[in-house]
Structure 1
């Protein structure tokens, strides 16, 4: 196959990855705008964290109730539903004259992400030449995390340097969603034996006994990694504004984006480092990121926030991809989907519950001290996971080739 034919062979994979990125960008688009909504609608930091966390509940609900729907009805119908939920979310933010619009918008955003997370990952890999190749896996990873990073980056720059900061980012996203739907309709369906929607059954999270030793530290590392992302994408703009005098929305969006882009780098390094070494190294990266964030809050230094985003994001990428691979490898084939769903539920609980805790504490002890308490708690969890991983005996079959 010549170079031109090879590029054409990969084109559907790249196009589906672009659609994946557009949908995921919508889930983080409001991040640098929360301070503007606070000024407009007059709500507290606790409300910001609850508005943010509603998204995770939407994701978890879809993963549990319809996470396997695309295996039954086809990839494209599920992805089109996801794009429709993302568009409805953007409309809610465009109409946000009261707090209720933000809650509904975030819930719809969570539904879109829940529909896309599994279906789009599978679709990207199935459209690639040589299904399941490492390159296809990297395209899916980059689309997911890259989209999450582009959301705050785009919204921050538009809010800072263009008119209508609470409207233009969502109008632009609606246009991108329309283009994505057109692209999706032009791609082929990869599920050959499709069945009616009525045959879809909820997935029950499950944990067979042989998975538990691997699952514990993997789940802790995933929880902490997603919790760190949750803090960066919910309250970091407020931290930057209040304690570091950074009121530039573009800078706020860039700091959040760096964490997601660093995660891509961390995930892409797993193949070279190996799964067994990547998980404890990822825990170390997360611990370092948390320590830098604590230093940034204590000494009020922007460079430490940036370093925290980069190191913590890379640690999250290393830890989560290795955790996912090890848990999948240890799971019986007939229970693998249920076990992976359980890991994602734990990860998305990390995005929501600790962030709400930061919001509750901030009303009583202030945002800075609440952030330090969060960092201490997450540091203990990730240290426990790392120590266990370093002390456990070697297990055959869990090292990547």
Structure 2
């Protein structure tokens, strides 16, 4: 019993390190209005600063997606923490917009290294028979960490001094502590090779996967696009149109979307993969519709509802998409197919968000948001229609 407790402690500590890294990627979210005020830039700049993060993630997925399998989990995660610390330092010393771009790019590199490696590490540290609990720990750490970032930054920005300094100083201290924890935890990859053995991970889409991949990719794209808009421009919308000046409230609204996503991902186990993807599309549709109502009525209650409903839909759809694509892919190409899905998903975080930024100046932020919602509703409805005609099968080939 004592040995099992020790093993679970290691698993939970790895999950805590996962939380710290992912929290750093969303930490600037409620602070963007303050940066706009400090540097005087437009909504387009906000969205581009945010989207640079996705380019960092995609770059790592393509160039070093197999890093942790090659050099080991701990070295990969230490590199990820290093990029996270460098990102925090960029934000701490930011006196021009260029530092924000650099900070977001480094944050993307850290997330790209962490997402796969930390998930595998948490599951490998769990005791035998603990795979289900370990999956819960990894899922909660990933999405929960993303939710903790804006919540922590919003609270510190509202109720503590130096709102553009203290959140990143606290995060930097947590990163240092996490590095110490990682150095104490054991390595789980037995046969390690040098860094030079890391090879680019080419995306792949075998013919037998395409029927499953199309609706899965569309749902993933829309879900991540919804998160992208929430985490980039929702604080500005809340301040400008709803007169919500409290940074803690704006951080909480964004955090709710990520926490709801965690709940949606956990629900897939009960609902089943085959049902979760179309159900996730339907819930995503409802979340987008609620966001449209929020933009039209300028009522906070609909913003909160859209965060919760849209987040739950994203969680349901993405975990089901990942499971169905992995099940349909040939074993020797599974990693490459999953990487392709992640590239599509993270493209959803960047391109639609930049589109909102481009339209914000000529149309206004609210109307730009409505155009975005109309496009995403069309996409998710097409995915749902496809699934009705050709239901996803979750079995391995």
**TM bin (shorter chain):** over 0.9
Give secondary structure in 1 for the equivalent of 2:185. coil
- In the other structure, the counterpart of 2:308 is 310
Shift, 1:167, TM fit: 0.1
How has the CA–CA distance of structure 1 residues 110 and 153 changed in structure 2, closer, same or farther, with 3 Å as cutoff?
A: same
Shift, 1:9, TM fit: 2.4
CA distance in 1, matches of 2:391, 2:99: 51
How has the CA–CA distance of structure 1 residues 154 and 275 changed in structure 2, closer, same or farther, with 3 Å as cutoff?
A: same
> Aligned pair count?
397
Correspondent of 1:123 among 110, 121, 124: 121
Aligned: 1:206 with 2:204 = yes
For structure 2, which runs of at least 5 residues remain unmatched after alignment? none
CA distance in 2, matches of 1:292, 1:379: 11
CA distance in 2, matches of 1:345, 1:355: 16
* Counterpart mapping for 1:117-196 below 5 A: 117-130=115-128, 133-196=131-194
Shift, 1:389, TM fit: 1.0
Q: Alpha carbon RMSD of aligned pairs, Å?
A: 1.2
Give secondary structure in 1 for the equivalent of 2:162. coil
How has the CA–CA distance of structure 1 residues 231 and 396 changed in structure 2, closer, same or farther, with 3 Å as cutoff?
A: closer
1:334-353 alpha-carbon deviations (Å, 9 max, x no partner): 00000000000000000000
CA distance in 2, matches of 1:213, 1:12: 40
Shift, 1:174, TM fit: 0.5
> So what's the TM-score if we normalise by structure 1?
0.97
- In the other structure, the counterpart of 1:227 is 225
Shift, 1:132, TM fit: 7.2
- In the other structure, the counterpart of 2:82 is 84
Whether the aligned pair in 1 keeps the contact of 2:21 and 2:110 (CA below 8 Å) is: yes
CA distance in 1, matches of 2:187, 2:249: 40
Whether the aligned pair in 1 keeps the contact of 2:274 and 2:394 (CA below 8 Å) is: no
Give secondary structure in 2 for the equivalent of 1:194. coil
How has the CA–CA distance of structure 1 residues 365 and 396 changed in structure 2, closer, same or farther, with 3 Å as cutoff?
A: closer
CA distance in 2, matches of 1:91, 1:396: 44
* Counterpart mapping for 1:246-325 below 5 A: 246-325=244-323
CA distance in 2, matches of 1:7, 1:134: 16
CA distance in 1, matches of 2:193, 2:202: 20
CA distance in 2, matches of 1:395, 1:168: 48
- In the other structure, the counterpart of 2:24 is 26
CA distance in 2, matches of 1:150, 1:41: 26
Give secondary structure in 2 for the equivalent of 1:235. helix
Shift, 1:138, TM fit: 1.2
- In the other structure, the counterpart of 1:381 is 379
- In the other structure, the counterpart of 1:245 is 243
CA distance in 1, matches of 2:201, 2:392: 32
Shift, 1:398, TM fit: 6.6
Whether the aligned pair in 1 keeps the contact of 2:327 and 2:394 (CA below 8 Å) is: no
* Counterpart mapping for 1:39-50 below 5 A: 39-50=37-48
Shift, 1:130, TM fit: 2.2
For structure 1, which runs of at least 5 residues remain unmatched after alignment? none
Shift, 1:5, TM fit: 4.7
* Counterpart mapping for 1:298-377 below 5 A: 298-377=296-375
Whether the aligned pair in 1 keeps the contact of 2:44 and 2:357 (CA below 8 Å) is: yes
Whether the aligned pair in 2 keeps the contact of 1:222 and 1:320 (CA below 8 Å) is: yes
Shift, 1:299, TM fit: 0.5
How has the CA–CA distance of structure 1 residues 395 and 165 changed in structure 2, closer, same or farther, with 3 Å as cutoff?
A: closer
Correspondent of 2:56 among 55, 58, 67: 58
CA distance in 2, matches of 1:322, 1:220: 12
Correspondent of 1:216 among 206, 214, 217: 214
How has the CA–CA distance of structure 1 residues 393 and 20 changed in structure 2, closer, same or farther, with 3 Å as cutoff?
A: closer
Give secondary structure in 2 for the equivalent of 1:97. coil
Shift, 1:394, TM fit: 6.7
Whether the aligned pair in 1 keeps the contact of 2:26 and 2:147 (CA below 8 Å) is: yes
Whether the aligned pair in 2 keeps the contact of 1:41 and 1:99 (CA below 8 Å) is: yes
CA distance in 1, matches of 2:129, 2:22: 23
Whether the aligned pair in 2 keeps the contact of 1:276 and 1:398 (CA below 8 Å) is: no
> So what's the TM-score if we normalise by structure 2?
0.98
